[in-house]
Structure 1
Amino acid sequence: MLHIKKILILITTWFMAMSAYPQLVSTENIDVVIANYRASLNTNPKKAEEAAKKWLQISTQQNDTLSQARAHYALANVGTVLGDYKLTIKHADITIELLTEVGLEKGISACYNLLGVSYKNLGDYPRAMDNFLKCLAFAKKNENKVQQANAHQNIATLYILQKKYTDAAKNLDRAASLYRETNDDDGVLITLFNFANILKEQGRYEEALKQYQTVLEYRKKEGNKAAVAYVMINISQILVDQERYQAAIPRLEETLKLLEELHFNSDMAIVLNDLGVCESKLGNTQKAIEYYERSLSIGESLSLTNYNTSFYQNLSDLYEKQKKYKKALFYYHKAVDISLASRALDKEKYVAELQEKYETELKETKIKLLEKDKKLNEIELEQATSDVKKQRLLRNIFIMGFITLVGVLFLLRYFYLQRISAQKELAAQQEKNARQEINQLIRDHKLSVIERYQKGQEEERARLAREIHDGIGSDLAGIKIAFEHYLETQEDKKRGKRLLQAIDSSCKDVRALSHQLHPPSFSKIGFESFLKDVIEQFSLHNNLICNLLLYPKEEIDEIPEQILAHVYRIIQELLNNIAKHAKATEIEIQLTKHKDYLNLVVSDNGVGFTPKKKPGIGIRNIQERIEKLKGTIEIDSSAQSGTSIAIDIPVKID
């Protein structure tokens, strides 16, 4: 899990670019130094360290506290990159002091983030968690979503180290969500990387390799060598865990070369140790020893206590294989000493925790004793006041009896008034109910009149349709047949054909008029087909563009014919009104079947109109049909956008 600290390396450079920091240092020299630092942080950390020191020197000479704080933070950041965590802790603490001095809290969360990473890599996980939580608190206080995400990201890495993968995944999800809110693609990549770490720790190597490969491709495109190095470390470690030592060695050597270029010393120690493991497993004992000794040299110089135990133990085992028992014993004692020192530190922490628990319990015991004394005093006070209460009791009984009598009288009067009020309310409600019944009867009568009127209309239309179809239609059909026979005997047929076409057109018009007056059963021809023919005829006769949309067609055809008949008449009335008054060039008709109702929308691009208090005959007919169907109508009209009429009709008949 040594690779996890790369998170801070990739994200903490944000602090140096925070908009909260005013650029008080404006001299050309310091601007150049800062630019050099930023440019070389992830490619040449040693050069970045020199630039940060120069930055601090100039800021101190100018007595610029804020610039000094930023320079100390830069040095702390470089320490993290180089693996010199004690240097990071030193400069991060100074940065917090200086920012507190100038009253600027926005940068403090990033400092606690660096401290948390440093303590984690030094093996002090409790202090690491404490600093990550401080980072999170300051970030929330200052509404800094990026640092909140960074804190959750690093808390997740601690949980991964403790094999608490569920808690780790929850924190990674929070971090990813915050990164997406701030459009931080780099943060999202880091989250993906850590999800891959969880898969790796769970032994799901193939899934982990796929995610690592995705991150690696993006990092290579960015040219971020530091990020590339950390991904390669983990890919190599998977090969080691799978005991594919021969395949792991080239990967590890490539990674080591990149880390040497970047001067990432602490990570070099890890990779050297992995190389030692591979060479040892392949039987190259001497080469393995050389790698272990190099890793130990770096670990001792950087005080990597957490890893030095493993380095010592590995060397001890290899020297034992070579029968160099003196050296084997020497490194074994070193491993034991570090382990004992670590346990001693754990014991000190345990004793401190016990001491704290003891003091807390002692305080709680004192509080309980004080509470008991308080209760005893209260009992004595109650006994002293008991006699006084007895003396007052007789007097109070008399007073309460009198008050009770007066109260009863008041209650009787109150209930009497309430009863009168209830009777008035009941009478008013009965009157209201009577008015509602009268109104309902009026509405029912009105609907009955409308229904009889519409029924009469339909019957009259049916009669006219039959007369037109059976009378005029039949006559025209006979004339057409006779004229066709006559035309066959004539030599000049051109003029006759034109007359024949006119007669044929008249036949179609008469048939269309008959269908409009009394349409055939929709179940036979389909409502959409019928409506489409009607609208096409309307478009031709009125020189208008009509667009028709029915959805879903099959469900509309299943609606009861009596509802579809009303819908057809409403559409017919609306089209006639548009043709007469709207001066429109285009009409759109949408008929949509929903679960419990049918929605009709008819729109035009005409001149619009102002709805009157008393509507015209056409609109009134439409309203009466809708009222009968218990539907609703909304009219939206203006001179700029024409008229749109929306109608909802229930499809369930009571």
Structure 2
Amino acid sequence: MLSACSNQQSPTVKPVENPFYDRAFEYREKGEADSAFRYFNKAKDYFIQNKDTYGAGKCLVNMSIISTDKGDYFGGQELAVSALKYLNERDQKQYPYLHPNYNNLGIATHQLGDYIRALSFFDSAIRFAKDSLDIRLYLNNKARTYQQIKKYTEALKIYNHILAGESKNRKEYARALSNIAKTKWLQDSNYNAAPTLLKSLNIRISENDLLGLNSSYAHLADYYSKTQKDSALIYAEKRFVIAKQLNSATDQLEALEILIKLNPKERTKEYFERYKKLDDSVQLAHSSARNQFALIRFETEQHKANNLVLQKDNEAKKYQLIILISISLFILFFGMFWYKKRKQKMALEAQNAIRKSQLKTSRKIHDVVANGLYRIMNEMENQEMDKNVVVDRIEDLYKKSRDISHEEPISDTQAFHIRIASLLKSFATEDIHIAIAGNSAKLWQSVSPTVFYEVEHVIQELMVNMKKHSKADKVGFRFDRSQNQIHIYYTDNGIGMPSDTKFTNGLRNAGNRISSIDGIINFDTMRENGLRIQISFPVTN
């Protein structure tokens, strides 16, 4: 588990001249994250108005840490990068905010699967940290990232360095012991990690270290899962209890995964229902946090804009503004009329092209039958499905295949966001975790069935490609809508896609589908690990 900082919070040096900053810390101490975020945002604007860049940077660091703690990793990244624009790396007095900001940037980047870049951010955190406790904490985060990408030798060097330090902190000592044993076992499956793991566990019990106990129980459950399932189940149950005490939904989900995997079939359903309910709750909480923080920032910017207009509002400017607005509206309405006509013409041409393209049997077989069968097989392999449901699904594919050359997109009464969620979750397995954010009914408002049909098949093609080729175990989809554009962000932690990759028919078809709805699709082929894909297309409000 990665750690934010030694006290799990950002530094608490408070300037007395900014009342918003003081209020923000009061809310933070009470655990009211939304209110703290709002007042840090107000305090940031106050500092900027008074030309205090350091103060603005401190506020952004706190906002970034709050966002990351709430699971909004994209927001945490953005705010941390913004903070760097206000902080001065040549001023040692600002180091207390620079090192936690880089550490938080490393955590958010690690959680998004960009491990190589996360290592660089942890190095920066270490460079600006002066306290030995902070340095050892960031070294631990760096070693955890090396462990994640299976560079066990590098991870062990760091863990042993931490262990060899002169710290008298028993919690730190136990953490290093546990991490070393886990890493050695991952490096060599024959390594007997039990004595060291149990030694660390006993220290944590004596220290009443709940965070440490959560980690120890997780390591022991993993270690015994293949050799002593009874022991593994015991430790997984203990971890689940500790995770509930810590109110950590992520750790509860991981404990439930082990319990589902190892328990007899008659108990699996009970754990699976708990897992599904909790996972849905986590996804909703992360999405709500991201939307809430974005809304707070938007409201503040809108308020500033309104005040600026009021300050400059006088009779002479009103007259000029009326003239300017009139001219602009005329140009805008004329442009909208011309654009609408042009768009209708282009849409008609695109629809004709799509109809011709749909006559190509090979593409239909791939999209409708092949991927449809692959999805059914995947669900049968990883989920319990009623025999009648399977028969109905296969019969539906058979009907489509009988006259495939004349098939038109089929309308469906099921809501778009539910269809997308169902599609993505059908690819989730015990080994593949799929995170979904932003997929709401509001997002798909005014999207035509024809456009949705194309987007749905593109997403299905990405998931089939992931399952067949990427070797990923974490997949993320984030949906966003700004004005008249919908953006879809795909990430996974698989083997990535080299720049010289030759696209398969499926991926080429995905590109053609997006082009047919005036959209764009970009594949990030420059990453060493994982894959990022961004899709954007217009919608009519």
TM-score by length of 2: 0.48
Q: Which has the higher contact order (CA 8 A, sep 6+)?
A: 2
Q: Which has the higher helix share?
A: 1
* TM superposition score normalised by structure 1: 0.41
